[in-house]
Amino acid sequence: MDQDKFPTLEDVCLSNPVAANLTTHPSSPAIYLAATYACADPRQANRILGGEESGFAYQRDAHPNGARLAEKFRLLHHADHALVTNSGMAALSAIVLHQLRTGDHCLISRYMYGRSSVLIEQELPKFGIEVTEFDPSDLESVHQLVRPGQTKMLFVETIANPLLQVADLPALVTLGREHGFQVAVDNTFATPYWCRPLELGVDWVWESVSKMLNGHSDLMMGLVCGKSTHWGRIRQVASTWGLGAAPWDCFLAERGLTTFGLRIDRASHNASLAAQFLSAQPQVKQVFYPGLPHHPTQSNVKTIANTTAWSNNSTNAVGNVVAFELDLQQRSVEEFISASGIAYFPSLGECGTTLSHPCSSSHRHLTEVQQQSLGIYPGTIRLSFGIESFATLREKISAGLVGNPSRPRNT
Ligand SMILES: Cc1ncc(COP(=O)(O)O)c(C=O)c1O
């Protein structure tokens, strides 16, 4: 054999054949793990890196799997632009780093995911940004908290964690227009299935894709969606601070997204039925679910709900999370967890139903008094509903309330 016909070991190992033009369409996307992309010449590299030509040069800036996924999120949110980041916290960081400067002031809802509060209330002051909490159930007070010319942003959750207060987004947008600040919304609990905040006039939306959008608890990711008027340099800011999502995670999230509609619909209806069931149980002191008629912010639901989802809504479902307060005189949290067999995960949005205990997880950084001022007590349990049959779930919840605590866990 003529050894000269073969390429060298280095050529074989380092070769990167361009994919043949496929004549049939693959059923799932290719995964482009490439860290860099060869450009035709320095001028092309300059144009791509400067955003004047579409294409990819360096993975931290952009890559095909991220671009595909971001486009799907853009369409789901009816947004002008979308960006994927390596976590929900990175999504919030991108908005903050793009929008705020030393000397600015911002308002943050007192009902926020704990780490979002820590980022805004403890990290931003290090950069000379001042922060004031507001109560979304008392919008009149926002007028007094605004600092004319200095208040640049307001942060709120569409449906807040863990007691599911629904924000009056149209009213907050009106306040923003009146006082000249932008409104940024964490839509993680609502997802674009239940609410598309940009359609209500909100300026920025972010979500943790790690939750229901991906739905399989096997990656961390976030999204930012926004309008052309404010989008500016946020992509460059996200790249500079290293906030982008990796190709493999984008592939997985895109796969998770294929079943998103079915999962959120089923899980939300399970949540709604469970909220009604829990409301009738003597071991339960209070139930929090925005679809229940007595929920304090029930009247805001119709103002935020995406009309397509709302029109198919036979059980007053709004999201897949329910919180309730156990009567600790009758049943301990440990007994509920052990007897129900529902897995305790400090997260939400999986295919299976999971449970969280805010005092020991999302709100553990607060004192007992602070927790109680938010309505969170040692007996408060948050359930993130999955796609099981409701009959199975009702059995598990009943067992949690009255059953033998030695039942094996489903972890
Ligand atoms: C409502 C909400 N927003 C944001 C986040 C942060 O997302 P991630 O964990 O993907 O950074 C979480 C995480 O639990 C959350 O529950």
pLDDT tens per residue, range 248-284: 999 999 999 999 999 999 999 999 999 999 999 999 9
State if residue 89 touches ligand 1 by the CB under 6 angstroms criterion: yes
Per-residue pLDDT averaged across 213-232, rounded?
Answer: 97
| Closest approach atom of ligand 1 to CA 186 | 3
State if residue 155 touches ligand 1 by the CB under 6 angstroms criterion: no
Alpha-carbon distance of 168 to 25, in angstroms, equals 45
- Residue 149 CA, chain-centre distance (Å), reads 30
Per-residue pLDDT averaged across 391-408, rounded?
Answer: 89
Which pLDDT score is estimated for 76?
A: 94
State if residue 206 touches ligand 1 by the CB under 6 angstroms criterion: no
Measured from the Cβ of residue 373, the count of other Cβ atoms closer than 10 Å reads 11
Q: Whose CA is nearest to atom 7 of ligand 1?
A: 88
Model confidence at 5, pLDDT cuts 50, 70, 90, reads confident
Has residue 17 got a pLDDT over 80?
no
Report which of residues 52 and 156 the model is more confident about.
156
Which pLDDT score is estimated for 126?
A: 98
Which pLDDT score is estimated for 323?
A: 97
**Å from CA of 115 to ligand 1 middle:** 8
State if residue 340 touches ligand 1 by the CB under 6 angstroms criterion: no
Name the CATH architecture for the domain at 260-402.
Alpha-Beta Complex (3.90)
- φ, ψ of residue 56 to 5 degrees: the values are -130, 140
pTM, 2 dp: 0.94
Q: Whose CA is nearest to atom 8 of ligand 1?
A: 88
Which pLDDT score is estimated for 329?
A: 96
Alpha-carbon distance of 250 to 107, in angstroms, equals 32
Q: Whose CA is nearest to atom 10 of ligand 1?
A: 88
* Assigned CATH for 42-257: 3.40.640.10
State if residue 59 touches ligand 1 by the CB under 6 angstroms criterion: no
Which pLDDT score is estimated for 127?
A: 97
Which pLDDT score is estimated for 1?
A: 56
Which of 115, 117, 163, 362 best tests ligand 1's pocket when mutated (most atoms within 8 Å of CB)?
A: 115
State if residue 220 touches ligand 1 by the CB under 6 angstroms criterion: yes
State if residue 354 touches ligand 1 by the CB under 6 angstroms criterion: no
**Å from CA of 217 to ligand 1 middle:** 12
Per-residue pLDDT averaged across 86-99, rounded?
Answer: 98
Can you say whether the dihedral through the CA atoms of 155, 156, 158, 161 is positive or negative? positive
Q: Whose CA is nearest to atom 11 of ligand 1?
A: 88
Which pLDDT score is estimated for 13?
A: 76
Model confidence at 144, pLDDT cuts 50, 70, 90, reads very high
pLDDT tens per residue, range 293-347: 988 888 898 888 877 777 777 778 999 999 999 999 999 999 999 999 999 998 8
Model confidence at 152, pLDDT cuts 50, 70, 90, reads very high
Tokens of 320: 């897949």
Give the β-pairing of 151-157 and 182-186.
parallel
What's the one-letter identity of residue 221?
A: M
Measured from the Cβ of residue 346, the count of other Cβ atoms closer than 10 Å reads 14
Task: Please tell me the least confidently modeled range out of 25-29, 176-180, 188-192, 383-387.
Answer: 25-29
Residues of the chain with CATH 3.40.640.10: 42-257
Which pLDDT score is estimated for 8?
A: 81
State if residue 117 touches ligand 1 by the CB under 6 angstroms criterion: no
**Å from CA of 264 to ligand 1 middle:** 17
Has residue 68 got a pLDDT over 90?
yes
- φ, ψ of residue 360 to 5 degrees: the values are -105, 0
pLDDT tens per residue, range 348-378: 999 999 999 999 988 888 899 999 999 999 9
Alpha-carbon distance of 47 to 53, in angstroms, equals 5
Model confidence at 408, pLDDT cuts 50, 70, 90, reads low
Cβ proximity of 323 and 371 under 8 Å: no
| Closest approach atom of ligand 1 to CA 220 | 10
Q: Whose CA is nearest to atom 6 of ligand 1?
A: 88
Alpha-carbon distance of 207 to 302, in angstroms, equals 21
State if residue 379 touches ligand 1 by the CB under 6 angstroms criterion: no
Query: What percent of the chain clears pLDDT 70, i.e. is strictly above it?
Result: 97
Has residue 407 got a pLDDT over 60?
no
Report which of residues 49 and 103 the model is more confident about.
103
Task: Please tell me the least confidently modeled range out of 55-59, 330-334, 402-406.
Answer: 402-406
Measured from the Cβ of residue 298, the count of other Cβ atoms closer than 10 Å reads 16
Alpha-carbon distance of 173 to 97, in angstroms, equals 21
State if residue 88 touches ligand 1 by the CB under 6 angstroms criterion: yes
Per-residue pLDDT averaged across 4-26, rounded?
Answer: 79
Is-cis flag, bond preceding 162, omega within 30? Answer: yes
Has residue 411 got a pLDDT over 70?
no
What's the one-letter identity of residue 128?
A: G
Has residue 65 got a pLDDT over 90?
yes
Residues in the chain: 411
**Å from CA of 41 to ligand 1 middle:** 41
Q: Residue 382: enclosing H or E segment and its boundaries?
A: strand 380-384
Which of 210, 249, 382 best tests ligand 1's pocket when mutated (most atoms within 8 Å of CB)?
A: 210
Has residue 410 got a pLDDT over 70?
no
Which pLDDT score is estimated for 64?
A: 95
Which of 73, 113, 223 best tests ligand 1's pocket when mutated (most atoms within 8 Å of CB)?
A: 113
**Å from CA of 243 to ligand 1 middle:** 15
Residues of the chain with CATH 3.90.1150.10: 260-402
Mean pLDDT of the chain: 93
Alpha-carbon distance of 261 to 191, in angstroms, equals 10
Query: What percent of the chain clears pLDDT 90, i.e. is strictly above it?
Result: 82
* 90-111 exposure pattern, b = at least 16 Cβ within 10 A, e = fewer: bbbbbbbbbbbeeebbbbbbbb
Tokens of 140: 């009149």
Compute the radius of gyration of the chain from its Cα atoms: 24
How many Cα neighbours within 13 Å face the side chain of 58?
14
* Residue whose C-alpha is closest to residue 276's, from 260, 293, 257: 293
Cα–Cα distances (Å) from 277 to 163, 290, 293, in that order, read: 17, 15, 14
**Å from CA of 84 to ligand 1 middle:** 14
Give the β-pairing of 130-134 and 151-157.
unpaired
Per-residue pLDDT averaged across 392-402, rounded?
Answer: 97
State if residue 113 touches ligand 1 by the CB under 6 angstroms criterion: yes
